[in-house]
C-alpha cells in the first residue's frame, strides 16, 4: 500500500537543512544521504520519491540524485513494480557487523575457556584495526607465571602472532599496502625488521594455518595464533595461545598451533562466519575500528 507520510516533514526537514547549512560540498551531500537512509529505515513498506523528498525537506531532483548514488552501492533498493524505495542489503551488512562485534566476545568466551583449560595457557582474542591488532578480551592461565594483557591495548600486526595470522590471510597486495602505510615497528630485538623476513613468516603461516610470535612483541613470551573469519570469509579477528617461553616451548608449538586452528574455526562458525577453502585467495579484510592505547602481548 502506498501511503503519504508528510505530516511530520517540516520538523525533520528543518533538522536536515540545519545540518546541511553548517557544512559544505561533500559533507552536506553525505548528511543528506544519511538522513534519507534514516527515513527509509523507519518504515519497511518503502517510500515514494515525492514522499521521501518532502519528508527530508529536499527537492525531488536532489533526492533522486542521492538515491541513485546510494543504489549503486546497494545502500538502497528501488522497486520498479511499485515505484518505492527501500533500505538496501549493504545497510544490513553494516548493521550485522555492529551486532556481530557487540556479541563477538560473549560467543567466543566459552570456546576460549575450553582452549585455556586444554592448553593450560592464557588465551587472547584480538580484532583487526588497520595496521594494528586490538586486544579485545583474555582468559588467563591458572599458572602463577602467565601472560597478562589489558583490554583495548594494541600492537602492530607484524609484531604479534595474532597480527601475523591476520596478515597471512590477506593477499600480497593488501600486506604491501599495510606495510607502506604502517611500516615494520619494532617492539623487541626479535621483532621482524625486514619485509623479506615478514614474507617468509607469512608464507610459513599460510602453509601451517597458524602464526608464531617468538618473543617479537614481549621478551620471554611466545604466542601461537590462528585467524577468525566473518560471513564473507574475510579475516577480521584472531585467537592466540600465549605463555612464557619456558612453558610454551618450540616443541609444543605445532600442537598448540593445531589447537589454535580448531578454536579459530569454532569461533568463526559460532559467530556466523565462513572458513575459506584451502585453495581460495584471501579476500580483502574488513577493518574493525577500535580506539585504544598501544600494547597487547600476543
Domain identity same for 236 and 260: yes
Residue 293 pLDDT greater than 50, yes or no: no
E strands in the chain = 76-79, 84-87, 122-129, 132-139, 154-156, 211-214, 221-229, 235-244
* The overall pTM is greater than 0.85: no
Instruction: Give yes or no: residues 81 and 180 share one domain.
Output: no
Percentage of residues in the chain having pLDDT higher than 70 = 80
Which stretch, 23-27, 223-227, 275-279, has highest mean pLDDT? 223-227
Domain that holds residue 28: 9-87
Q: Are residues 171 and 81 in the same domain?
A: no
Question: Tell me, what CATH number does 187's domain have?
Answer: 3.30.450.40
In this prediction, residue 41 carries a pLDDT of 85
Do residue 135 and residue 240 come from a single domain?
yes
Band the pLDDT of 292: cuts 50, 70, 90: very low
The verdict on 103 and 53 lying in the same domain is: no
Domain count, the chain: 2
Question: Who's near 14: CB < 8 A, 6+ residues apart?
Answer: 57
64 shares a domain with 33: yes
Q: Are 72 and 169 in a shared domain?
A: no
Largest interatomic CA distance in the chain = 72
Domain-embedded: residue 143: yes
Q: Residues 135, 169: one domain?
A: yes
Which CATH number is 13's domain given? Answer: 1.10.10.10
Same domain, 78 and 209: no
Given a cut of 60, whether residue 1 has pLDDT beyond it is no
| Mean predicted lDDT score pLDDT of the chain | 84
In a domain, 116, yes or no: yes
206 and 248 share one domain: yes
Q: Which three cell numbers stand for residue 261?
A: 586452528
Q: How far apart are the first and last CA of the chain?
A: 56
Amino acid at each position: 500500500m502506498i501511503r503519504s507520510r508528510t505530516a511530520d516533514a517540516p520538523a525533520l526537514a528543518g533538522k536536515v537543512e540545519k545540518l546541511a547549512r553548517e557544512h559544505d560540498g561533500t559533507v552536506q551531500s553525505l548528511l543528506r544521504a544519511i538522513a534519507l537512509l534514516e527515513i527509509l529505515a523507519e518504515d519497511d513498506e518503502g517510500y515514494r520519491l515525492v514522499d521521501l523528498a518532502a519528508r527530508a525537506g529536499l527537492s525531488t531532483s536532489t533526492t533522486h540524485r542521492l538515491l541513485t548514488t546510494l543504489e549503486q552501492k546497494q545502500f538502497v533498493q528501488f522497486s520498479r513494480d511499485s515505484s518505492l524505495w527501500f533500505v538496501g542489503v549493504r545497510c544490513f551488512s553494516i548493521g550485522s557487523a555492529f551486532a556481530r562485534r557487540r556479541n563477538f566476545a560473549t560467543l567466543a568466551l566459552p570456546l576460549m575457556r575450553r582452549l585455556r583449560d586444554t592448553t593450560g595457557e592464557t588465551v587472547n582474542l584480538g580484532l583487526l584495526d588497520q595496521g594494528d591488532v586490538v586486544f579485545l578480551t583474555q582468559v588467563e592461565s591458572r599458572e602463577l607465571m602467565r601472560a597478562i594483557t589489558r583490554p583495548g591495548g594494541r600492537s602492530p600486526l607484524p609484531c604479534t602472532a595474532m597480527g601475523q595470522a591476520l596478515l597471512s590471510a590477506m593477499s600480497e597486495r593488501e600486506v604491501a599496502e599495510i606495510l607502506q602505510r604502517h611500516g615494520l615497528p619494532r617492539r623487541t630485538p626479535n621483532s621482524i625488521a625486514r619485509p623479506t623476513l615478514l614474507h617468509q613468516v607469512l608464507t610459513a603461516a599460510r602453509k601451517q594455518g597458524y602464526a608464531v610470535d617468538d618473543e617479537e612483541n614481549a621478551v620471554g613470551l611466545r604466542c601461537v595464533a590462528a585467524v577468525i573469519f566473518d560471513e564473507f570469509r574475510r579475516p577480521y579477528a584472531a585467537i592466540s595461545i600465549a605463555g612464557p617461553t619456558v612453558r610454551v616451548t618450540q616443541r609444543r608449538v605445532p600442537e598448540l598451533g593445531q589447537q589454535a586452528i580448531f578454536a579459530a574455526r569454532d569461533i568463526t562458525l559460532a559467530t556466523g562466519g565462513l572458513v575459506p577453502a584451502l585453495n581460495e585467495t584471501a579476500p580483502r579484510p574488513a577493518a574493525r575500528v577500535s580506539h585504544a592505547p598501544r600494547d597487547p602481548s600476543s
